[in-house]
Amino acid sequence: MGWSFPVGTVKGTTIRVHLTFLLFLVWIGGTHYLRGGAAAAATGVLFMALLFTCVLLHEFGHVIAARRYGVQTPDITLLPIGGVAQLERVPEKPGEELVVALAGPAVNVAIAALLALALGGVPSASDGLAVENPGMGLLARLFWVNVSLVLFNLIPAFPMDGGRVLRALLAYRLGYTRATRIAASIGQAVAFGLGLLGLFGNPLLLFIALFVYMGAASEASAVQLREAGQRMIASDAAVTRFDALSPSSTIEDAVESLLRTSQHEFPVVDGAGRLRGVVTREDMIRALREQGADTPVLDVMRRDIPVMHHRQPLDEALRVLRGGKLPAIGVADADGKLLGLITPENVGELMMVQAARPPRPPPANPWQRNPAGGVAPR
């Protein structure tokens, strides 16, 4: 997720803080200062630290539940509306996703219950403002923060946990893809409703609406990509008409190709038609400036470009492309002869085309691979 930065790593999970979470903390600190000066601001800071901890514990609820099903969590991003635990994949069964989604809010329910126990009962909202006993007031406010974390997260919209709960429940009957599409639409409708409420009431709602809207949209497009990836093979997404360079080409030759075509990535192909590497536009410009036009492309090209069999499932190719942050991957026939390149730009175009086509019936099992790719040799 953009606009976030890492603050630490716990058991292989990187904790990231979104810029807006910091703004939210500043907002809390500021309102405290305005209400009661430096002492109140200090309590506010303590409160922030505790709030931060509650949100983090919530996310670790998801992480621990996901680990039970063998799903790791590379990172957690803290947002003002809670956090987003970025699971490496969606758990295999709707029941598992349900447990993972509910594990977060369950942590806040547990914290709220402990606080109510410590306070000797459910605190009233006015207890949070108790000036004669600041410690008591802090715990009471923390209780209500946990209650609101539960309520917010159970809003049935991505990226809230409620969105995942909704999808899991729908997926029991409708399958993963349709369930996601419906849950994403409901999420966007909820976002619209919140935005409308925000316009006439609390401006904070507008801000939440924006997050919900983006969350729903990104979940829908991630599923669309996955669905397309499972249905198609690598060569469906490959550019097959391209200019290639030879191992004896120079940067001058590469620049000529750059200006003659609309390509940004140029494969270097040897006499047997095998891919030796890829020269990107950025590499070319840098080499031209720093090393000169007669530098051999062999000195400039990226050599870590994987080559896949053209009938491999597309989602495997996409995973490799994204995972390695590569400018391109090669697609070749059984003899290793280069047939085309898959570039992020071309994948983007493919997705635009897919989004414009009328939906096809989804595969029976969303986790099933394209059998054509599975049996073909690499």
Which sequence positions are flagged as catalytic?
59
Q: How far is the CB of 159 from Zn ion (least distance, A)?
A: 9
Is residue 163 near Zn ion by the rule CB under 5 A?
Answer: no
C-alpha span between 267 and 71 (Å, rounded): 36
Q: Exactly one of 96, 97, 161, 253 binds Zn ion (CB under 5 A); which one?
A: 161
DSSP string, 227-294: HHHHHSBGGGG-B-S---B-TT-BHHHHHHHHHHSS-SEEEEE-TTS-EEEEEEHHHHHHHHHHT-TT
Is residue 104 near Zn ion by the rule CB under 5 A?
Answer: yes
Select the span of 3-11, 68-76, 158-166, 227-235 touching Zn ion (CB under 5 A).
158-166
Using CB under 5 A as the binding rule, the residues of this chain from 343 to 362 that contact Zn ion are: none
State how beta strands 75-79 and 82-86 pair: antiparallel
Q: How far is the CB of 187 from Zn ion (least distance, A)?
A: 14
- Tell me the three state secondary structure of residue 82: strand
Q: What values do phi and psi take at 307, rounded to 5?
A: -120, 130
Is residue 340 near Zn ion by the rule CB under 5 A?
Answer: no
Which residue's entry shows tokens 């004896």?
248
Residues 6+ apart with CB under 8 A from 119: 127, 136, 139, 140, 143
Select the span of 102-110, 219-227, 255-263, 299-307 touching Zn ion (CB under 5 A).
102-110
Q: Which residue is nearest to Zn ion (CB)?
A: 104
Select the span of 155-163, 202-210, 279-287, 354-362 touching Zn ion (CB under 5 A).
155-163
* Count of residues near Zn ion by CB under 5 A: 2
Select the span of 13-21, 65-73, 101-109, 265-273 touching Zn ion (CB under 5 A).
101-109
44 versus 104: smaller Cβ distance to Zn ion: 104
State how beta strands 307-309 and 75-79 pair: unpaired
**Phi-psi sector, 120: left (phi>0), alpha (psi -120 to 50), beta:** left
Q: Please, are residues 315 and 229 in contact by the beta-carbon 8 Å criterion?
A: yes
Select the span of 156-164, 175-183, 193-201, 370-378 touching Zn ion (CB under 5 A).
156-164
127 versus 161: smaller Cβ distance to Zn ion: 161
Is residue 219 near Zn ion by the rule CB under 5 A?
Answer: no
How many CB atoms sit inside 10 A of residue 354's CB? 16
104 versus 366: smaller Cβ distance to Zn ion: 104
Of 317, 295, 294, 293, the C-alpha closest to 306 is 317
13 versus 230: smaller Cβ distance to Zn ion: 13
Q: How far is the CB of 103 from Zn ion (least distance, A)?
A: 8
Is residue 187 near Zn ion by the rule CB under 5 A?
Answer: no
Q: How far is the CB of 94 from Zn ion (least distance, A)?
A: 17
Task: Give me the amino acid identity at 296.
Answer: P
Q: How far is the CB of 160 from Zn ion (least distance, A)?
A: 7
C-alpha span between 215 and 226 (Å, rounded): 17
C-alpha span between 228 and 234 (Å, rounded): 11
154 versus 233: smaller Cβ distance to Zn ion: 154
Q: How far is the CB of 62 from Zn ion (least distance, A)?
A: 5
Q: How far is the CB of 150 from Zn ion (least distance, A)?
A: 10
Q: Nearest 10 degrees: CA dihedral of 148, 153, 155, 157?
A: 150
Q: How far is the CB of 84 from Zn ion (least distance, A)?
A: 8
Q: Please, are residues 158 and 187 in contact by the beta-carbon 8 Å criterion?
A: yes
104 versus 313: smaller Cβ distance to Zn ion: 104
Q: Nearest 10 degrees: CA dihedral of 142, 143, 144, 148?
A: 100
53 versus 124: smaller Cβ distance to Zn ion: 53
Is residue 156 near Zn ion by the rule CB under 5 A?
Answer: no
Q: What angle do CA 86, 219, 211 make, to 5 degrees?
A: 80
97 versus 161: smaller Cβ distance to Zn ion: 161
Q: Where do contacts with Zn ion occur on this chain (CB under 5 A)? A: 104, 161
